[in-house]
Structure 1
Amino acid sequence: MNPSRIRILAVGKVRKGWLSEGVALYLKRLPGLDVVELRDGGMEREAAAIGAALLPQERLVVLSEEGQTFTSTAFASALEGSGSERLAFVIGGADGLDPALKARASWRLSLSPMTFPHDVARLLLLEQLYRALSIQQGGPYHRA
């Protein structure tokens, strides 16, 4: 997994200091990974903003509670299996993601069957991306 081939398109801002600190920590550990913050404002408007921000060469990955769940090791393998593809992970706003946008996704990912606020989901995704990189590199961060 190459962090520079991954972008996170996230609806809303991270407003809590402790979450901002965590996000900053993992972004520092994942140089090249880009986070694009999009304005919230209802599912249709958010879906249009996500569609406009998505690059033509990116594979759309939406975070959704009904998506596929992985262990951390399996997630690392799935990312490794994506090879040189560019991935855009999308985190929706408070109302979730527009069903039409979900239908366009080539991959639906669930961090958990539970629902999280978008800013917490952002931190969890970044941590799992860092963990996946550590697993792929054989680093000590992940203890199986």
Structure 2
Amino acid sequence: MNPARCRIVAVGKVRRGWIQDGIDLYLKRLPGFSITELRDSSAAKEAEAIRSAIRSDETLIVLMEQGDVLASIPFAKRLNHYGNERLVFVIGGADGLTEEIKAQAHWQLSLSPMTFPHELARLMLVEQLFRAQSILQGSPYHRA
């Protein structure tokens, strides 16, 4: 997994300082990785903003409750499978993603069967991406 070839597109702003501090910590550890924030609005407007934010050369991965639930090592292996493809992870707003966006996804991923605020989901995803990189590089960060 190459962090410079991955990014997150997320609806809404991070309003809690402690969550932003955590995100910033992992972003420092993932050089080249970026997060694009979109304004929260109606589902239709959010979907349009998401479509506009995704580049044609990116593989779309959406986060949703009904997506695949993977432990950290299988998640890292799945990311490794994409090689040098450009990946964009999309986190929807409070009402989730439209069926159209979900259908366009190459992969539907769930961080947990539980539901989390989008801010926390963003922090958890960034941490898991860092963990996946650590697993693939054989770093001691992940202790299974």
Common fold by TM > 0.5:
yes
What is the SS of the residue equivalent to 1:10? strand
Residue matched to 2:130: 130
Q: CA RMSD in A?
A: 0.5
How many equivalent pairs are there? 144
Does 2:54 align with 1:54? yes
Separation in 1, partners of 2:27, 2:43: 27
Q: Write the letter of the residue equivalent to 1:51.
A: R
Does 2:90 align with 1:90? yes
Pairwise CA distance, 1:105: 0.5
Separation in 1, partners of 2:132, 2:44: 32
Percentage of pairs with the same residue: 60
Separation in 1, partners of 2:78, 2:95: 28
What is the SS of the residue equivalent to 1:136? helix
Separation in 1, partners of 2:17, 2:7: 22
Separation in 2, partners of 1:103, 1:44: 15
Pairwise CA distance, 1:99: 1.0
Q: Write the letter of the residue equivalent to 1:42.
A: S
Does 2:40 align with 1:22? no
Q: Write the letter of the residue equivalent to 1:127.
A: E
- TM-score between both structures, scaled by the size of structure 1: 0.99
What 5-or-longer segments of structure 2 have no aligned partner?
none
Pairwise CA distance, 1:137: 0.5
What is the SS of the residue equivalent to 2:94? coil
What is the SS of the residue equivalent to 2:10? strand
Runs of 4+ in 1 over 6 A off after TM superposition: none
What 5-or-longer segments of structure 1 have no aligned partner?
none
**1:45-76: per-residue Cα shift (whole Å, max 9, x none)?**
11100000000000110000100011100000
**1:16-58: per-residue Cα shift (whole Å, max 9, x none)?**
0100100100100101001000000021111100000000000
